[in-house]
Amino acid sequence: MRLSDMREGQRATIVRIGGSGPLRRRILEMGILKGTEIRVEKYAPLKDPLEIVVKGSHLSLRVEEAAQITVEKVR
């Protein structure tokens, strides 16, 4: 499942980070790494951007950026 498909409050583990170049580097530098657990905090009123919590930090991603990240739901 893609990160952009998750709902508010759901938790997941990152499986794969797609993309290339500056976008991929920016995502990795923010601490969004394979195996990291994340939680979708909330979406903006128009569904873009979304706020996620990674290692206790709140980060905002555009939906198009979140679509590059493959996750697996935590049960």
Domains in the chain, ordered, with CATH?
3-73 (2.30.30.90)
Taking the alpha carbons at both ends of the chain, their separation in whole angstroms is 14
Tally the C-alpha atoms within 13 A of residue 32's C-alpha that lie toward its C-beta.
30
* Cis previous bond, 49, omega within 30: yes
Under-70 pLDDT residues of the chain:
none
- Tens of pLDDT, residue by residue over 19-29, are 888 989 998 99
Q: Write down the pLDDT at residue 53.
A: 96
The model's pTM is 0.86
Residue 49 confidence (pLDDT): 93
